[in-house]
A and B are shown apart, each in its own frame.
Chain A
Amino acid sequence: MPVTNPQAVIRGERLAVTRALTQVENNSREGYKLLEELFPHTGRAHLIGVTGAPGTGKSTLVNQLAYAYRHSVEGNSPPRIAVVAVDPTSPFSGGALLGDRVRMVDLAGDPGVFVRSMASRGSLGGLAGTTAGLVQVFDAAGFEIIIIETVGAGQAEVDIASLAHTTIVVEAPGLGDDIQTIKAGILEIADILVVNKSDKPGADHTLRALRNMLALAHPLPEDVQHHGTLSTAAPADIEPETGWTPPVLATTATTGEGFQELIAAIEEHRDYLKSAGEWQIREEKRLKNELEVLLRDALRAHWEEKIAPETYQETLGKVIRRQITPWRAVDILLEGARL
């Protein structure tokens, strides 16, 4: 593939942007070189993660959210928006069916929007690694808002949450909305909770269940205050106050109901991050994460280059025959590679 001109990416030329995305996604040497050039131009975009179970309406919501940003933000020119829609790679064939665009037809023809589908690929760099790379291309190309859609499933969800400034967790009524079945852990990653499909029966119930859960996890100042007049007198078993209580919003992504409120909540969260110094903290955490993922992969790749396949097979055989422990095997394999 010919080398992509980084200046053309920075100018936001769409052909250059799309080629850069491919080179970065393919983990190619060209992609790596490009990121070197683009990196100084990144760090400006607001990264919004959208996660939740399959079928909750994430793609439809991303469509409405981007559309609302493009058409109803008052004042200056609307922000340019990039979408990265991630779907799983089939572990059997290595192929993927990426269908999120089907729900994003309202964004077609808008030169201020760029939608890119991405398969998780189970690549060395991990989901976080590749997604972070694509996000950097979009960031350098001047997209002010970058929305990342991922299926909420275990590690992928957590990875994306650590990548985004603002993480939106999407729930829908009828997908098991008892407190017990709402996935543990979403409260830790959600900056904003959305009950989508609020046109459907049971939406009230889901809203209430989530609000109750939140009230337990984030006690309101009034709840704490009767223990003492000073807010610092909060009991030790209560989570340190982060200053942000995730709002629970209702949307109907098919009609656009609730999206002005959603945008308002996203902007409020951004303002909160900036005013509380949290924005900087998240940026630092994100870059540290990125560095660690890259380092881990580089070390592993370096080790793979150095280790003789026979040594690996032989050591593995010993573990399987229970002649040595896996811990001892690791020692042998690290020594054997002479890093």
Chain B
Amino acid sequence: MVNPQKKIRVLIAKAGLDGHDRGAKVVARALRDAGMEVIYTGLRQTPEMIAEAALQEDVQVVGLSILSGAHMTLVPKVVDLLQNAGMENVKLFLGGIIPDEDKPELEKLGVTGIYGPGTSTQNIIEDIQKACQ
């Protein structure tokens, strides 16, 4: 017991009904290569599934990919459900096409980082590392 090991654990989930998860997979691999343990959950995750997986995996970070434009309904639900589960300390990161006018509201909900298409994965890695210190 003299060798405590801690790792940043991240859940990557693709919420909403739209079809592909290429971007989410690229981010997942980049985070793994940065030394994180990435739990990948796949397509079409409901807010309930995301909160449940975050609890069972005891992650510090949830990375949500939302391309469908439904972020203003999905994010508040995820935040709520995480809170109900006692996981209010989880840092929420959001990827997708998020209009600027939505950002203040999302940040007020507690979203730590918002990333549009073409964000360098290095940025995301550094933000997560900072948020988990």
Residues of chain A having any CB pair with chain B under 8 Å: 14-15, 18-19, 21-22, 25-29, 31-32, 89-90, 92-99, 101-102, 105, 108-109, 114-117, 119, 121, 123-124, 301, 305
Instruction: Give the residues in chain B near A27, CB-CB below 8 Å.
Output: 1, 3-5
Q: Does B85 contact A (CB under 8 A)?
A: yes
Which residue from A115, A121, A301 sits with its C-beta under 8 Å from B56? A115
Given A90-B32, A109-B52, A305-B2, answer yes or no on A117-B39 (Cβ-Cβ < 8 Å).
yes
A15 adjacent to B34 (CB under 8 Å): no
Most buried by B among A25, A116, A117: A117
> Told that A18-B57, A108-B52 touch, could you supply 7 new A-B pairs with CB distance under 8 A?
A15-B55, A21-B58, A28-B4, A94-B35, A97-B38, A97-B40, A102-B41
The contact sample of 24 A-B pairs, CB cut-off 8 A, is A14-B55, A22-B58, A25-B5, A26-B4, A26-B6, A27-B3, A27-B4, A31-B1, A89-B37, A95-B31, A95-B33, A95-B34, A95-B35, A97-B40, A98-B40, A101-B40, A105-B42, A105-B49, A108-B49, A109-B52, A114-B56, A115-B56, A119-B37, A124-B3
Interface size on B, residues (CB 8 A): 32
Which 6 residue pairs are nearest across A and B when measured between Cβ atoms? A102-B42, A95-B32, A18-B58, A15-B86, A32-B1, A95-B35
Most buried by A among B29, B31, B35, B85: B35
Instruction: Give the residues in chain A near B38, CB-CB below 8 Å.
Output: 95-98
Most buried by A among B3, B32, B56: B56
Q: Does B79 contact A (CB under 8 A)?
A: no
* Closest B residue to A20 using CB positions: B58
A-B pair count, CB < 8 Å, reads: 96
Instruction: Give the residues in chain A near B42, CB-CB below 8 Å.
Output: 99, 101-102, 105
Give B60-92 interface residues, CB cut-off 8 Å to A.
85-87
Docked pose: A92 CA to B31 CA in angstroms: 13
* Closest B residue to A19 using CB positions: B58
Q: Does B130 contact A (CB under 8 A)?
A: no
Give B81-127 interface residues, CB cut-off 8 Å to A.
85-87
Which residue from B3, B34, B49 sits with its C-beta under 8 Å from A123? B3
Docked pose: A90 CA to B31 CA in angstroms: 12
B37 adjacent to A98 (CB under 8 Å): yes
Instruction: Give the residues in chain B near A105, CB-CB below 8 Å.
Output: 42, 49
Instruction: Give the residues in chain B near A96, CB-CB below 8 Å.
Output: 32, 37-38
Docked pose: A96 CA to B55 CA in angstroms: 19
* Closest A residue to B11 using CB positions: A101
Docked pose: A315 CA to B1 CA in angstroms: 27
Given A27-B5, A90-B32, answer yes or no on A98-B39 (Cβ-Cβ < 8 Å).
yes
| Min C-beta distance of B87 to chain A, whole Å | 8
A101 adjacent to B41 (CB under 8 Å): yes
Most buried by B among A31, A97, A116: A97
Docked pose: A64 CA to B64 CA in angstroms: 27
Q: Does B7 contact A (CB under 8 A)?
A: yes
* Closest A residue to B54 using CB positions: A18
Which residue from A14, A102, A123 sits with its C-beta under 8 Å from B5? A123
Docked pose: A27 CA to B53 CA in angstroms: 22
Docked pose: A25 CA to B59 CA in angstroms: 13
| Min C-beta distance of B48 to chain A, whole Å | 6
A109 adjacent to B7 (CB under 8 Å): no
Given A21-B58, A95-B36, A121-B5, answer yes or no on A15-B52 (Cβ-Cβ < 8 Å).
no
